[in-house]
Structure 1
Amino acid sequence: MNTTLRLALCATALALAAAPALAQVHRSNPGDADAKTVLDMMPGKAKLTVTTPAFKAGEQIPFENTQYRTNTFPGLSWSKGPAGTKSYALIMQDNTLILRGAPILHWTLINIPASVTKLDAGMAPTGNPAGSSYGPNYMGAAKPYTGPRTPPGPGDDYHFEIFALDTTLPDPGTDFSVITKAMEGHVLAAGEVVGHGIADPNAPPPAPRPAAAATPKQ
């Protein structure tokens, strides 16, 4: 399957996935094609080194950086892109859980200026770099950092991916495919840091759903 088709499938799954659609989620298996991230499909010609002060690559994401607690942004740093870099794009995906045939999209931040190679820990929703903008995630359009809320079980892998681009990207609205299509052929370098999320054992149980109203007798 070519890259364009894969990205179209990815976009279909990730673009407008509202919360009720999460009932359609299933766990991936090693090697599943639908578990490929955008980085898997567009690795670029060079590699960026991506780190976070919150955790080491492959280790557990602190609960403070998840929706279970304060949903605090963990912070990211990356090596400078090659000559010709005009902007960076950040994409966060959970490829352990699959929604409608693709990894769940947690966060996108596009048009990060080429002069920026760091996002501070604790960055506020309105604290993104000047000129950058939030793209869609599984909750809708223009969403700030939306950390993990990993369900009970063995845990999920969360990919914080950075792409150095020789272009800037259009406003995608709710359509993630606008981002991936505009990126195709423009990735100069890319890299990621992966953290592992688990369910918070001290989290309160979810609120019960309201009981359905009784149907009046005719």
Structure 2
Amino acid sequence: MLTIRLLTAVLGLALHGGLHAAPAFTLASTDMAEGKMMTASQVFHGFGCTGANLAPQLSWSGAPAGTRSYAITVYDPDAPTGSGWWHWSVFNLPATIHSVAGGATAASLPAGAVQARNDFGDSAFGGACPPAGDQPHRYQVTVWALKVDKLPLDQHASGALVGYLLNANVLGKAQLTGLYGR
């Protein structure tokens, strides 16, 4: 009987505006849009691609309570590798940071931020470069709100290892998916 009364009270509050949802954790970019083709600015320069190889501008808001740091990943699940392709992993971004500038590099990221090794073999952003003739690939840009101040990794960590620790420490994620094909 108590359960029914409690459920009725909660539903009543929800219907009459007494319960407020937490703000949504959202990600935006001036350089890319959800579900749209990316420009040459975010395309790799090499492997037959001739883009500018610039990380996209990103800004986020509405992180979950308790967020102590952020990470950013860019991942292509459509790469013909059997395990996708890690284009960028940045972690140990302070919780006070809510954006990164377009073209971000180690020099322009906040002190203490670490860029792990991408699948091109660099500890930096590596742009889109799917095989010629493939359907457009999806490039999942994710900002991770984390419950820890720092991940115990360095710039030599693989995308898979970074992903493992991100999933172990995540409070919330915000994502944009851009497309690119050639």
TM-score for both structures, normalised by structure 2: 0.75
Stretches of structure 2 lacking an aligned partner (at least 5 in a row): 1-22, 45-49
Q: Read off the aligned partner of 2:57 and give its amino acid letter.
A: G
Give, in whole Å, the separation in 1 of the partners of 2:165 and 2:97: 21
Query: 1:79: Cα distance to partner?
Result: 1.3
1:66 aligns with 2:46: no
Give, in whole Å, the separation in 2 of the partners of 1:194 and 1:122: 18
Residue from 145, 166, 172 that aligns with 1:189: 172
Residue from 152, 163, 169 that aligns with 1:170: 152
Q: Read off the aligned partner of 1:114 and give its amino acid letter.
A: A
1:51 aligns with 2:33: no
CA contact (8 A) 1:150 1:156 kept: yes
Give, in whole Å, the separation in 1 of the partners of 2:57 and 2:37: 15
Show structure 1 runs of 4+ deviating over 6 A.
none
1:112 aligns with 2:89: no
Query: 1:97: Cα distance to partner?
Result: 1.4
Give, in whole Å, the separation in 2 of the partners of 1:119 and 1:181: 23
Q: Structure 1 residues 98 and 134 mapped into 2: Cα distance closer, same or farther (>3 Å)?
A: same
Aligned pairs for 1:2-151 (under 5 A) are 48-67=25-44, 68-99=50-81, 101-140=82-121, 143-151=123-131
Query: 1:176: Cα distance to partner?
Result: 3.5
Which residue is equivalent to 1:34? Answer: none
Give, in whole Å, the separation in 2 of the partners of 1:164 and 1:49: 11
Q: Read off the aligned partner of 1:76 and give its amino acid letter.
A: L
Structure with larger RCO (C-alpha < 8 A, sep 6+): 1
Which residue is equivalent to 1:161? Answer: 142
Query: 1:125: Cα distance to partner?
Result: 4.2
TM-score for both structures, normalised by structure 1: 0.64
CA contact (8 A) 2:139 2:178 kept: yes
Give, in whole Å, the separation in 2 of the partners of 1:73 and 1:180: 19
CA deviation digits over 1:22-55, x for unaligned, max 9?
xxxxxxxxxxxxxxxxxxxxxxxx9521111012
SS in 2 for 1:164: strand
Query: 1:155: Cα distance to partner?
Result: 1.5
Give, in whole Å, the separation in 1 of the partners of 2:97 and 2:51: 28
SS in 1 for 2:138: strand
Q: Structure 1 residues 176 and 198 mapped into 2: Cα distance closer, same or farther (>3 Å)?
A: closer
Question: How large is the Cα RMSD of the aligned pairs?
Answer: 1.9
Give, in whole Å, the separation in 2 of the partners of 1:159 and 1:184: 15
